[in-house]
Structure 1
Amino acid sequence: MSLHTFLLAYRGIHMAGIVHRYRRRRYRQRVHAEHAKPLEQYTSEELYARFRIGRDDIKYIADLVRPTLQHQTKRSHALSVEEQCLIALRFYACGTFYQVIGDNMGVRKATVSNVVKAMSVALGSLINQFVSFPKDDQTAQTKHKFFQMGNMPSTIGAIDCTHVHIQAPCEREWEYVNRKGRHRINIQLVGNADLIITNCAVKWPGSVHDARILRERALYRELQSHRPNGIVLGDRAYPLLPWLMTPFPVSNTPEQARFNSSHCKTRCAIERLNGVQKRRFVCLNYLRVQPKVACNLILACIVLHNISTRRHVPLDDNFDGPEPDVEPEQPPMFLPNDGHTGHAIVRNYF
């Protein structure tokens, strides 16, 4: 056999082997993990324990975000809106790692991350629908409920800041370090006697003082230019203004002592609100994300808090998460100033 004939024969055998292997190749069929069906398999009590919310409330939330999260087709076994809600609510409720949530819900870690981020943006876009300062026709009822708490007249809100612990940011890390030396986002909330959030500021690093956050808010400019028919209660970190009442630094008279006592009893509504929110949504005790994502998550929890409060969702008594990290009161940024409004309230009511 000549060399030329041998090479042709070898080439033919080699090509036949390739064709043979190609024909025998089989594509493995994609296997999709079975998604958990909590709405079907859990009782109402079990839903409250795992998601901090009930069956009807989950359906209500799903309908709110459906226009944003609804997939057009079921291609690649796309998650339904209800399944996306359950994944995100599970994260908000326990704040654990995405991998743990994925194992529990039957999805991948990356899927949990994408769903939580998308759900947070969708809920955050509803902030103006669920968070609003009392209007003129609502102030009378708001004042009455606050007065029942501590005999403080004309109160339409209580203001305070709370910190949310985050992981060290990649950029401008030092700005997020608070007085405890931890990386935090400083959130300012205004609430009413029913523990409903009526105004919020979610973007400031932990190093920013409470009074500065207030001064930069549109609410401050609005109340400064159009004085409300009532007062807001704040601690000593805030300035004393015609519409913002802070306690007397020192009680020099029995009337001032009674004012301070009433102020404390009434303003505790905002402290209770912060505690309830962090107890219901344990993720707010520590967010392992960058600040922008953290702010979206916080806004989502604020919307969910108001929804849960208005729909009278019970707070699970079997609480197994960490206790909220209480921030000490910020030192005053302003000199003590009794002001005419404070004296008038003391003179007329105490």
Structure 2
Amino acid sequence: MAFALPVWLALHEELLAHGAPDSADPLDDFDDDALFQAFHLTRPCIAFVADAVRVRMKNNAAFRSPAAAAAAAVSVDAAVLVALNYYAHGASSADVLQRVGRGRLADPPALICGVSEVVAGMADQFISFPLLRDAKLHVASQIKEACGIPHAIGVLAPAHFRIRAPLTRRSQVICDSEGNVLSVEKCCVGGTCEQEMWETSFKGREMEEELHGPYWVIGKGYHLSKHVMTPVSEPANDNEVRFNEAHAKIHDVMRTTLGSMKRRFRCLMQLGFAQECSLDKKADVIKACSVLHNIAKKFSVPAPPAAGKIEPLHPGNQNSVPFNIDPEALQARQELIQRNFSVGSASKDPPSNAGENL
């Protein structure tokens, strides 16, 4: 979820205090327009990312892998810019490599893998699922304000990322009503159905085991359950139609979020940048781009303009195994629709009671 501005400012001050920038700043070779064209981020945002990577690589021994070592062997700023340029365009620009490396970058793919590993590891700082009561109430109140559905702490969907045609990878993503990524996990083969991803994911198990309390996530293509709110498959009255319209409205936030990510980080349109990088490394790229998406939103960096239509959410493969709808979940959805989407209805629950009664 989005961090409060004072928290981000304090973190930025700590990064600056513990990580001195490289003496020759490769950012100086770019004016602001060229910088955005090359990296799809602004100067303050890139400087923040470079500072965070520098501190992370210096203080965490877990990143002493061969790939991370390759990133550390050159200027951290240069390594970060090589990776950001790849994320932005899906290929490394010869001009950027020359400018930031002065012709001394021998293995750009290894740098990209190394920086991706480090930035993906920063997910514990910059991708935050609401855990505390106040955080859950805040996310739930924003979603309710956006669409009218109460007690929801995220929008759930699988994201498709191409590797090499016709192969794809899918990651399970949860976002809030403002498009901040709250969770990204389960990088699996493209044919994996939504329900299987949810049932085997950490967040899915946590929610279905009541570890996050009586809240929903809003999803489509999943089984209706105690903690996954799906649309009514065959609406029988105006109340259910209104509910489905509200469900579609908030679910469209995920489509917009993933579309924005893929415009900013065009590498997500085709992840086959280096044969020596395993699928785990490609998962690092996906998570790294999710981290950078949240950082870019905090710095209010606009996404590049869309070249065409926003890519729709893929429906995925439905599980062919028959299942029985949980009668308690079905009743809870019907009660929610009756309370919140009948003619003239308006939820009387004050924000402090959100999530106490499904």
TM-score between both structures, scaled by the size of structure 1: 0.76
Structure 1 residues 95, 37: CA separation in 2 closer, same or farther (over 3 Å shift)? farther
Contact 1:99–1:109 (CA<8 Å) still a contact in 2? no
Contact 1:228–1:243 (CA<8 Å) still a contact in 2? no
Looking at structure 1, the residues matched to 242 and 324 of structure 2 have their Cα atoms a distance apart, in angstroms, of: 18
> Which stretches of structure 1, 4 residues or more, deviate above 4 A after TM superposition?
97-101, 103-106, 322-325
> Cα offset for 1:214?
0.8
What amino acid sits opposite 1:345 in the alignment? Answer: L
Q: Is residue 167 from structure 1 mapped to residue 153 from structure 2 by the alignment?
A: no
Looking at structure 2, the residues matched to 327 and 140 of structure 1 have their Cα atoms a distance apart, in angstroms, of: 27
Residues paired across the two proteins, number:
294
Aligned residue number for residue 312 of structure 1: 300
| RMSD value, Cα | 2.6
Q: Is residue 153 from structure 1 mapped to residue 150 from structure 2 by the alignment?
A: yes
What is the DSSP-based 3-state SS (H/G/I as helix, E as strand, rest coil) of the residue aligned with 1:279? helix
Structure 1 residues 78, 143: CA separation in 2 closer, same or farther (over 3 Å shift)? closer
Q: Is residue 249 from structure 1 mapped to residue 233 from structure 2 by the alignment?
A: yes
What amino acid sits opposite 1:89 in the alignment? Answer: L
Q: Is residue 48 from structure 1 mapped to residue 36 from structure 2 by the alignment?
A: yes
Q: Is residue 122 from structure 1 mapped to residue 118 from structure 2 by the alignment?
A: yes
Aligned residue number for residue 60 of structure 1: 48
Out of 238, 248, 256, which is 1:264 matched to? 248
Looking at structure 2, the residues matched to 37 and 118 of structure 1 have their Cα atoms a distance apart, in angstroms, of: 20
> Cα offset for 1:137?
1.1
Contact 2:160–2:170 (CA<8 Å) still a contact in 1? yes
Structure 1 residues 184, 242: CA separation in 2 closer, same or farther (over 3 Å shift)? same
Structure 1 residues 286, 107: CA separation in 2 closer, same or farther (over 3 Å shift)? farther
What is the DSSP-based 3-state SS (H/G/I as helix, E as strand, rest coil) of the residue aligned with 1:200? strand
What is the DSSP-based 3-state SS (H/G/I as helix, E as strand, rest coil) of the residue aligned with 1:132? coil
> Cα offset for 1:101?
5.3
What amino acid sits opposite 1:46 in the alignment? Answer: A
Aligned residue number for residue 187 of structure 2: 203
Out of 196, 208, 219, which is 1:212 matched to? 196
Greater displacement, 115-124 / 38-47: 38-47
Out of 137, 140, 144, which is 1:143 matched to? 140
Percent of pairs identical after alignment?
24
What is the DSSP-based 3-state SS (H/G/I as helix, E as strand, rest coil) of the residue aligned with 1:162? strand
Looking at structure 1, the residues matched to 118 and 108 of structure 2 have their Cα atoms a distance apart, in angstroms, of: 15
What amino acid sits opposite 1:155 in the alignment? Answer: A
Looking at structure 2, the residues matched to 57 and 307 of structure 1 have their Cα atoms a distance apart, in angstroms, of: 7
Aligned residue number for residue 268 of structure 2: 284
Aligned residue number for residue 25 of structure 1: none
> Cα offset for 1:80?
1.5
Out of 127, 130, 143, which is 1:134 matched to? 130
Looking at structure 2, the residues matched to 183 and 291 of structure 1 have their Cα atoms a distance apart, in angstroms, of: 12
What is the DSSP-based 3-state SS (H/G/I as helix, E as strand, rest coil) of the residue aligned with 1:193? coil
Looking at structure 1, the residues matched to 269 and 99 of structure 2 have their Cα atoms a distance apart, in angstroms, of: 21
Matches within 5 A, 1:2-13: none
Residue deviations 1:64-98 (CA, integer Å, cap 9, x gap): 1114546xxxxxx9532111111111111011257
TM-score between both structures, scaled by the size of structure 2: 0.75
Aligned residue number for residue 339 of structure 1: 330
Looking at structure 1, the residues matched to 36 and 94 of structure 2 have their Cα atoms a distance apart, in angstroms, of: 22
Residue deviations 1:272-296 (CA, integer Å, cap 9, x gap): 1111111110000001144222111
